Amino acid sequence: MIKKYKFGKPFETEAVVKEIPVEAGKPEIGEISAEEGFCLIYKMTDELVVYGLGEANRGINKRGYKYVSLCSDDFNHTEDKLSLYGAHNFILLSGESQVGLFFDYPAKLTFDIGYTRQDTLAVTCDDADLYLYVITGESALDVVKQFREIIGGSYIPPKYAFGFGQSRWGYMNAGDIDSVVEGYRGNNIPIDMVYMDIDYMVDYKDFTVNPERFPDFKSYVAGKKEQNIHLIPIIDAGVKIEDGYDIYEEGRDKGYFCKREDGSDFEACVWPGWTHFPDFLNKDAREWFGSKYKVLIDQGIDGFWNDMNEPAIFYSREGINALDECVKETAKTKLDAKPGKLEEHFNKLQNNHKDYERFYHNVNGEMVRHDKVHNIYGYNMTRAAGEAFKKIAPEKDILMFSRASYIGMHRYGGIWTGDNKSWWSHILLNLKMLPSLNMCGFLYCGADLGGFGDNATRDLLLRWLALGVFTPLMRNHAAIGTRDQEAYRFEGIEDFRHVIGVRYRLIPYLYNAYLKAAKENDMLFKPLAFVYPEDKHCKQVEDQLMLSDELMIAPVYTQNATGRYVYLPEEMMFVKFMQDGSLKKEILEKGHHYVDVALNEVPLFIRKGCRIPLAEVALSVPEIDESKTMMVGYEM
């Protein structure tokens, strides 16, 4: 059952697509105050588990910490971080009853889930202008399915997007990309995609291609497609301010950029230098920007990733002016009179929340301050693309995923979880985010395998790839200045060939499982407790997941480990993909086990009575011969 409650004058985010009547009064869930801002207080029993929040820090069970829904450009995902790139305001209270809460509110929203008081959930925001949806169901999964039904169907990518992709910030030209393709194909390692970061552009300008670095780009794209390689360029949110740049001039002349309060176009510095931000909350501006993807689609591109769309801000004109004033003030006094003052101003330049109060959107003729709708900016950038694709190339399926997101964006694209690090703890964080993202509709998702920042090691990359084998988005991505981490860079290339090859053996199964989850508003990845609600041990398991209806995955995520402990809620078949192409199978009874998993092995568990198709290894998705799949399973 779903009930909708209205507080104040909510902004229409269009996250929910199903018409639901507004209930009178307040919901019978905790104590709610809407006098000065909004506050919901709910007393949690000891056994209550709190799921949800999509792309959020820490565990599958969100109890014990504080989380702030505020799309944030923060590359340092340590345990103390309250906000990441997405804002997904859905939680599921799972105890004696099953209750889902969706707070449709596009500004900053805080979830204190036992942080201030261990037994208290407190959800607060500054303005009491929101919709609250209360969903009750027979099971946790029933609540999720009801929520998924009202927010609309999940994006379905092209089949090639289930292949392996290689990315790096720093592929500067066609020669670099050719080298990557040769590195994989020359070593018989499967690959379908090479990603193009900001260096392919002319001076970081959207929808441009540097002709010196990529001469005759259209022919180059076509040549790569003949090799079954799709080039996937990045698109950033900021538009460079430069006379003669058609995107800038059109946006300026048509009034499609976000404005200051005085009506002038807001200016901020991002990768291209001084930029304007397209007003993605303005329907006309959204249609205009979306139409520009045609520039690259006409050159053969059929996949994109949207970035910097929180929006990220290096600094603004106002921020620089404030820093100048601080410098002048400090120069008039002794430097030790204001310890840390200059440093404080420097640190506040990037992604300063005051900047989000300095510009406005035109929403149906009404000027809306950005900080009041901050969390739906990236969502509407990807919406602009998704809606445009249906007009530009209605016959094509186009890959699209984004960094910033809000519930509702899942209808237009997937997400990757942003600038993680080459840390073992981030393999586990990747795993724990998967079911939470699925709850919020994001089925096409994944992390930067091997880690974006810092330096990957051979063993870390192999272990992370063994998890990435199962995630819909399987991409190795690294930052400029870090150690090269393409699979062929390390010794023992045959191990990488094998692990990535397992992905291609599983694609027939994974693709169909994805389509089924999308069609049925189901989750591809579930916490064990969703499938085994009566098993008290399953509520404690945070490092194993159920995959679709047939499998359980339990990756190794610890340095120097030769295996790991697992808990089986029922008798299962333990399967390891061995390097020689064979499968090692063992029936394990219900309970706790230690399983050996070598660096070059991929483990999974098959439930009793289930089986899955396995293909032969192929170097690309189109080369998979599904007529030659074999069935493997645990027959009853």
- Same domain, residue pair 133 and 233: no
User: What is the domain range of residue 379?
Assistant: 153-161+199-314+350-416
Q: What contacts 24+ positions apart, CB below 8 Å, involve 75-83?
A: 75/418, 75/419, 75/452, 75/453, 76/421, 77/418, 77/419, 77/420, 77/421, 77/426, 77/429, 81/57, 82/57
Whether 252 has a pLDDT exceeding 50, the answer reads yes
- The pLDDT tens digits of the residues spanning 183-194 come to 999 999 999 999
We report the CATH number of the domain holding residue 587 as 2.60.40.4040
The verdict on 613 and 568 lying in the same domain is yes
Residue 328 lies in a domain: no
Residue 124 and residue 157 in one domain? no
CA Rg value for the chain: 25
State whether 112 and 157 are in the same domain. no
Query: Does the pLDDT value for residue 60 go beyond 90?
Result: yes
| 471 within a domain of the structure (yes/no) | no
Statement: residue 624 has pLDDT above 60: yes
β-strand pairing of 572-577 with 602-607: antiparallel
SS3 495: helix
Q: Read off the tokens for 265.
A: 């176009």
- Do 117 and 157 share a domain, yes or no? no
Strand 109-113 vs strand 120-125: parallel, antiparallel, or unpaired?
antiparallel
Number of C-beta neighbours around residue 14 at 10 A = 16
CB-based contact 136:28 (threshold 8 Å): no
Q: Are residues 83 and 20 in the same domain?
A: yes
Asked if residue 371 belongs to a domain, the reply is yes
Q: How confident is the model at residue 350 (pLDDT cuts 50, 70, 90)?
A: confident
Instruction: Give yes or no: residues 520 and 620 share one domain.
Output: yes
- Say which residues have a Cβ less than 8 Å from residue 583's Cβ, sequence separation at least 6: 575, 576, 577, 632
- Determine, yes or no, domain membership for 551: yes
Residue 337 has pLDDT above 50, yes or no: no
Cis before 311? omega within 30: yes
- Structure pTM? 0.96
In what helix (H) or strand (E) does residue 378 lie, and over which residues does it extend? Answer: helix 377-392
DSSP letter assigned to residue 202: S
**What's 107's domain CATH number?**
2.60.40.1760
- 635 — pLDDT class (breaks 50, 70, 90): confident
Q: Give backbone dihedrals phi and psi of 493, rounded to 5 degrees, phi first.
A: -60, -30
Quick one: 157 and 105 in the same domain?
Answer: no
Domain boundary residue among 396, 416, 436?
416
Q: What is the pLDDT of residues 450-503, one digit of tens each?
A: 999 999 999 999 999 999 999 999 999 999 999 999 999 999 999 999 999 999
Cα distance between residue 90 and residue 103, in whole Å: 7
The per-residue pLDDT for range 565-589, each reduced to its tens digit, is 999 999 999 999 999 999 999 999 9
Same domain, 146 and 49: yes
For 39, the token pair is 């506050």
Q: Is residue 540 in some structural domain?
A: yes
- The H-or-E segment that residue 379 falls in is helix 377-392
Report yes or no: 382 and 409 within 8 Å, Cβ to Cβ. yes
Pairwise CA distance, residues 202 & 314, whole Å: 20
pLDDT band of residue 338 (cuts 50, 70, 90) is low
Q: What is the pLDDT of residue 349?
A: 81
Domain CATH code at residue 396:
3.20.20.80
Is the residue at 291 inside a domain? Answer: yes
Task: Give the 3-state secondary structure percentages of the chain, helix then strand then coil, rounded to 5.
Answer: 30, 25, 45
Q: Would you say residue 590 has pLDDT above 50?
A: yes
Q: Mean pLDDT of all residues in the chain?
A: 96
Position 320 in a domain = no
Asked if 555 and 463 touch (Cβ cutoff 8 Å), the reply is yes
In a domain, 114, yes or no: yes
Query: Which residues partner with 605 through β-bridges?
Result: 552, 574
Band (pLDDT 50/70/90 cuts) for residue 94 is very high
CB contact burial 420-432 (16+ within 10 A = b; e otherwise): bbbbbebbbbbbb
Number of structural domains the chain divides into? 3
Regarding whether 157 and 42 lie in a shared domain, the answer is no
Domain end: 416, 432, 447, which one?
416
Residues 72 and 206 placed together within one structural domain of the fold: no
Q: Same structural domain for residues 223 and 120?
A: no
What is the CA angle 242-295-205, rounded to 5? Answer: 30
pLDDT tens digits along 413-437: 999 999 999 999 999 999 999 999 9
Domain end call among 388, 416, 444: 416
